Amino acid sequence: MPDPKLWGLEDVERLSADGIRDVHETHVNPGQLKYTRMLGFDRIRIDRARGAHYFTPDGTPLLDFMGGFGSVNIGHNHPRILALSRRFQEALHHDISQTFLSAYAAGLVHNLAELAPGDLDFVFLGNTGSEVMEAAIKLAEQYQGPDRTRTLYAKNSFHGKSKGALSVTDSALLRGHFRLIEEPPAVPFGDADALEAALAADPRIGAVVLETIQGGAGIVVPPAGYFSRVRDICNQRKVLLVLDEVQCGLGRTGKFFAFEHEGIIPDVVAVAKSLGGAKAAVAAYIARRDVYLKAYGDPKTSIIHGFSTFGGMGEGSAIAMEAVKIIHEEKLAERAGQTGEYLMTRLRELKDRYPSLIKDVRGRGLMVGVEFQGIGHATLSAIKPLAAMLDDRLQGGLPGLIGALLCADYRIVVAFTEYNRNVIRLEPPLVLRREDVDYFIQCLDALLSKGPVGLVMRFMARRQNFDAQPIDTPPVPPNG
């Protein structure tokens, strides 16, 4: 066998956008690449990132309104995280935490317990949101005992794609024909009566799992008072309330935990994504002391579900410890609340100006959804024949067109949602500035002013020549 030609960092630093795409086409997920291509994201070679911006090799900034679906709360490459990593590595600190008790994991769980209210102070560390959600569900089952092993969840929920998390994720597409854990039927999110009825109907339900704000559903904030009723119902029925704050937690909504807006405390809360400071894969659940101790408190039960191999890894834990400290010390939650208000006010002005295009603006802090009118809406009927010429997925709505053009014409990156294809999801780093919001609004305004036919025409032109200079003179972006 010939010597394998293995690449190092210098090799991949030299890869062009086309070169990167070819490797993904050959070895990763060619089906998914179709969507990346449609949006034109494969045409851009990202070289580095800082704060709320990505940069291409020639230094062109791209404003990041996607924020890794909520993974970049403290911004890309925060200087304190870089300094910590350098110090950690130069000191030859250790990463594997399986043998000796880790000081770095201790630092992280200390900070989480300090910031979590009430009795939320026992922490499980993992690496992904799915992993800690599964661990949280197992904790609830173990706590409740063999007669109450079922978990109630909400319609349009998203808790992850591993089998246990998928069993409480309400997506026909993602579930496919996989054999999952059988759970009771999902209840509508935001409907406390339906939740109460479901619990009354099935005494085997021992836990309710909910996102505090649904992300994949299209940024859905439940009605005021919903969570306090859910908390009361769970208390009355001795059912555990597990909240998933993998996406909405850690400052994004204007409070460190989104449930703090609701005046309740869950029995278990899961966080991930931004816990890794945009540099490491770190996830955690934080459980009520008595829940944890009843489930796993003695030596015999303690090993039923301990950390997996990389749970509590040294540098990752140290980074996460610093990330939550940064969120607290830099008052990023407050900042997200203020910038988010400003963003939503400006978006609502656009909604008033373009009611036939924008249907709704909603969210909390910097977790914002812009719902566009369906492409079948009366005012869009003129473009149906044109829309039919587009790829399957884009026929579904305006977000694909607008997202692709924001990127191609204005170098702004936005996200989409799993279940509502009419929604653009905005989850920028919390360090976003007001001038970044102004730039975003100016660019979105410029696009919407073209009207639906103009948008389709522009999209088609861009598909033919992505690299062409924008036809209009774009607004000048603020410095990244």
Ligand X SMILES: Cc1ncc(COP(=O)(O)O)c(C=O)c1O
Q: Is 272 in the site for ligand X (CB under 6 A)?
A: yes
Which residue type does 236 have?
Q
The residue among 196 and 267 lying less far from ligand X, judged by its C-beta, is 267
Q: Is 129 in the site for ligand X (CB under 6 A)?
A: yes
Rounded Cα distance, 397 and 372, in Å = 8
* Phi then psi dihedrals of residue 261, to 5 deg: -70, -20
Span of 97-105, 122-130, 321-329, 350-358 interacting with ligand X by CB under 6 A: 122-130
- Minimum CB distance to ligand X, residue 438 (Å): 28
Q: Is 274 in the site for ligand X (CB under 6 A)?
A: no
Closest CA to 265 of 286, 282, 292: 286
Total of residues contacting ligand X (CB under 6 A):
14
The residue from 196, 211, 262, 315 that contacts ligand X (CB under 6 A) is 211
* Residues, the chain: 480
Which residue type does 262 have?
E
Structural contact between residues 419 and 171, judged by C-beta atoms closer than 8 angstroms: yes
Closest CA to 136 of 162, 107, 111: 162
The residue among 217 and 357 lying less far from ligand X, judged by its C-beta, is 217
Name the residue with tokens 């025409």.
Answer: 457
Chain residue at closest Cβ approach to ligand X: 129
Name the residue with tokens 């005992």.
Answer: 145
The residue from 164, 206, 215, 277 that contacts ligand X (CB under 6 A) is 215
- Minimum CB distance to ligand X, residue 285 (Å): 11
The residue from 72, 105, 125, 133 that contacts ligand X (CB under 6 A) is 133
The residue among 161 and 294 lying less far from ligand X, judged by its C-beta, is 161
Cα torsion angle, 328, 120, 245, 193, sign:
negative
Q: Is 370 in the site for ligand X (CB under 6 A)?
A: no
Strand partners, 363: 368
210 in helix, strand or coil?
Answer: strand
Q: Is 265 in the site for ligand X (CB under 6 A)?
A: no
Rounded Cα distance, 345 and 348, in Å = 5
Element spanning 365, H or E: none
Name the residue with tokens 């749970």.
Answer: 311
The residue among 46 and 281 lying less far from ligand X, judged by its C-beta, is 281
Cα torsion angle, 428, 342, 220, 351, sign:
negative
Q: Is 396 in the site for ligand X (CB under 6 A)?
A: no
Span of 14-22, 74-82, 240-248, 325-333 interacting with ligand X by CB under 6 A: 240-248
The residue from 97, 128, 144, 420 that contacts ligand X (CB under 6 A) is 128
Q: Is 246 in the site for ligand X (CB under 6 A)?
A: yes
Structural contact between residues 287 and 136, judged by C-beta atoms closer than 8 angstroms: yes
Q: Angle 70-74-77 (CA atoms, 0-180°, nearest 5)?
A: 105
The residue among 215 and 480 lying less far from ligand X, judged by its C-beta, is 215
The residue among 427 and 436 lying less far from ligand X, judged by its C-beta, is 427
The residue among 64 and 211 lying less far from ligand X, judged by its C-beta, is 211
Name the residue with tokens 């067109």.
Answer: 401
**String of contacts with ligand X for each residue 63-92, x by CB under 6 A:** ------x-----------------------
The residue among 213 and 321 lying less far from ligand X, judged by its C-beta, is 213
The residue among 102 and 247 lying less far from ligand X, judged by its C-beta, is 247
Taking residue 14's Cβ as centre, other Cβ atoms within 10 Å add up to 9
The residue among 169 and 373 lying less far from ligand X, judged by its C-beta, is 169
Name the residue with tokens 């988010």.
Answer: 340
Strand partners, 50: 53
The residue from 134, 141, 170, 244 that contacts ligand X (CB under 6 A) is 244
The residue from 73, 247, 253, 422 that contacts ligand X (CB under 6 A) is 247
Copy the structure tokens of residue 207.
């836990």
The residue among 106 and 186 lying less far from ligand X, judged by its C-beta, is 186
Span of 115-123, 134-142, 239-247, 323-331 interacting with ligand X by CB under 6 A: 239-247
The alpha helices in 170-304, defined as continuous H runs, are 172-175, 192-201, 226-237, 289-296, 299-302
**String of contacts with ligand X for each residue 152-191, x by CB under 6 A:** ------xxx-------------------------------
Strand partners, 154: 187
Question: Kind of pairing, strands 367-372 and 358-364?
Answer: antiparallel
Q: Is 369 in the site for ligand X (CB under 6 A)?
A: no
Residues that bind ligand X (CB under 6 A): 69, 128-130, 133, 158-160, 211, 215, 244, 246-247, 272
